[in-house]
Structure formats: structure tokens, C-alpha cells
Amino acid sequence: MRDKIAELLAAAKQAHGRAYAPYSGFKVGAAVLGDDDKIYMGCNTENISYPCGSCAEQNAVGAFVCGGGHKIKAVLVMADSIKTISPCGACLQRINEFADKETTIYLADLEKIRQTYSLRELLPNAFNDLEINK
């Protein structure tokens, strides 16, 4: 798994470099490790109509689905910031759709992983955990 973590870090860094963030200047790269051991990348993509942009994690999950992935084993999110950033609630829910509660979420700067969480820690009350029909 160590090699895969290094590959995730490299992929997220590559995605970060491709981010399109001309309005905020805040670039984010993400990498998803699928159960097929393939890595899928995504970067944030802003739009002049600001709410129309998309998150790096959203794009990485989309690439995972398009690439035929079925289950997410790990996610790495990278930004060039002093404080690590976590996926937003919507992206955590997207990850949750294809992951389990113990899926690892790595938060990194441009050099290394700074924090590690389980999906359960970042999304303790995932929508699928609710008993909405009772």
C-alpha cells in the first residue's frame, strides 16, 4: 500500500498542476484509488459563473466511474495551503456512494500527507445511514 500512497500523492500533485482556478487562485488536486488498483485524478475547475465550477474530488470520482471503477479504496486531496483542506460535504457524500465507512481520506500539501482520516470521521452521518422511510 505504501507504493500506492506514493502514486496517489504524485497523481494528486499532477492534477493540482492542471487545476483551472483563475478566479480564486486556489488550486486543488485529488486522486482516487479504486478497487481495481487504478488511480483516477481530478482537479477543481472554476467558472466565471462561480457556482458552476466543480471540485477536484467531484471530478476524480467522475473519472473513477467513467473508468469502470466500482469501489473506492482511498482518496487523497491536495492543496497548496498552510492548513490542509478536507473534501466539502457534497464531495464526501459522492465518495460515500462508492466507499465504505473505513475508506481512507488523505489530506496533503504539495509535498506530503499531513492528515489521515476515515470517511466515517469526516462524514459521521452519511445520508445512506439515515432511516428516511421510518
For the annotated catalytic residues, the residue numbers are 57
Closest CA to 30 of 95, 74, 77, 91: 77
Please identify which residue in the block is written with the cell numbers 478566479: 23
Burial 75-89 (b: 16+ CB within 10 A, else e): bbbbbeeeeebbbee
Give the 3-state secondary structure of residue 76. strand
| Cα distances (Å, whole numbers) of residue 119 to 20, 46, 72, 76 | 27, 26, 11, 12
